[in-house]
Amino acid sequence: MFRTIFAILVILWAPLASAETRIPNSQAEISLGFAPLVKQAAPAVVNIYAKIVTEQRQRSPFMSDPFFDEFFQGFAKPRPRVQNSLGSGVILTADGIVVSNYHVVGMATEIRVVTTDRREYNARVVLADKASDLAILQLDDAAELPFLPLRDSDSVEVGELVLAVGNPFGVGQTVSSGIVSGLARSGSAAGGGLGYFIQTDAAINPGNSGGALIDVNGDLIGVNTRIVSRSGGSNGIGFAIPANLVREFVQQSRNGAEEFMRPWAGMSGQPIDADLAASLGMDLPEGMLISDLHPASPFAKAGFAVGDVITKVDGEVVNSPPEMVFRMTVAGMGSEAEFIRVRDGTETPIKVAMKPAPDDPPANPIQFDEHTTLPGLTVARVNPVIISRMASVPLPDDGVVVLDPGPYGARAGLQAGDVIRAINGAKVSAPTDVLKLMQDSGRRVAMDLFRRGQILKLRFRL
């Protein structure tokens, strides 16, 4: 009975020509199912085979022993290890621009793309971003390929019918159907990662990653990226990266970007709950409270202050920091976005420039060489660029951050992201301060650190 009702509701033959949905008018329309839609859209979804070559060292059973550790330095030579990755991708242009997930192709040394008609292409990554789990590929010698148009993902509504197309478990191209189960799912709800996702109950399994989530018109509304599952298989909770973010990736790749750029907010914030809304005199718990603001932030320059509430970006509601990051990103680098600020119960629209974090003062990274203490240690001055790239660095802050502790720094207890405030009681303001103070420290070193919200004192001997 359920299948019959479902078929009546989903067989939308007219939307192939019109965006307006309707109930089918005849038994012939009902019997067609999704077949016309699949024939139209499936050729633009490809299988991706990626090869990753990593180095793996053989370990001696004595290498973890402090006494024998130095005797085994350089004992094991790295051996190449080949890892194969299987996933899916979506063709976005006739000349072979393909979108997939970073975790499928981001670190690949060799990528092979196979279309539904068994044509094979070599591909290269032109733009990738681990935080967003997106990668843009360019197929070699490709022309006149079928492709999927990008839909405005802000127009997607909960309850819409969708199809997920991909290559689950490597069995071959597979289509599964479902609905949009939820919108504005943040990274925490989706099992981690920086993101803002469309949720669907269409079956998504390993191998579907990078595949298409399409609507009943055959337009791409999202790129399948992950699932929530205890077994590893589909439990009806899958997530797709919205098409609007994919569009920004394509635009930046066409502009020649080597690294995906996000506008810098220079702030930290928190969602508004019922208690916080009551304390702020708000009728409803909505928006995001600004809890900290960097002096160089474009929001500070536009008139925002700590304690203000942001409720909308370009007319779209935001209720958390991940939602605002997403809205700023899809607004596009170099544009101006309109934010609704609530202060003392008054709403004010304010335009803010979408710009990258400034390298001011200059980070001036320094790597310690073999003639210095703690060879391999790499440090830099904390500035907006560092803050934007390292989530563990507080906002605002001064001091010097550890970019890489190196082998000797790691043994001493240093970690990437540590902010060095002082060495043996002397304040640290620049990378050169660390170099000088370490050289003058003698055998004993005491460092004042800030690590993931905690103040630490690290003591070690050279």
Question: Is residue 96 classed as helix, strand or coil in its secondary structure?
Answer: coil
- Do the Cβ atoms of 204 and 176 come closer than 8 Å? yes
> Which residue is catalytic, options 186, 209, 234, 253?
209
* Structure token digits, residue 329: 């990103």
CA 92 to each of CA 144, 146, 212, 393: distance values in angstroms, whole numbers, following the listed order: 11, 8, 11, 37
Cα 336 vs. chain centroid, distance in angstroms? 22
For residue 100, which of 111, 89, 110, 86 has the smallest C-alpha distance? 89
Is the alpha carbon torsion for 404, 406, 407, 412 positive or negative?
negative
**In 3D, which of 9, 241, 295, 15 has the Cα closest to residue 133?**
241
C-alpha 253: how far from chain center: 16
Question: Angle, to 10 degrees, between the axis of helix 243-254 and the axis of helix 321-331?
Answer: 40
Q: Which of 136, 132, 175, 212 is nearest to 39 (CA)?
A: 175
| Active site (annotated) includes residue 371 | no
Q: Which of 133, 201, 215, 308 is catalytic?
A: 133
By CB atoms closer than 10 A (0-12, 13-18, 19+), residue 394 is middle
Residue with tokens 């925002």: 304
**152 catalytic, yes or no?**
no
| Whether residue 273 lies in the annotated active site | no
Catalytic residue, chosen from 85, 88, 103, 297, is: 103
Spatial separation of the C-alpha atoms in residues 417 and 402, rounded to whole Å: 5
> Is residue 460 classed as helix, strand or coil in its secondary structure?
strand
How far lies 396's CA from each of 320, 356, 376, 403, 452, in Å? 20, 16, 27, 18, 14
Q: In 10 A of CB 170, how many CB atoms? A: 11
Whole-number Å distance between alpha carbons of 114 and 123:
10
Q: Which residues are catalytic?
A: 103, 133, 209
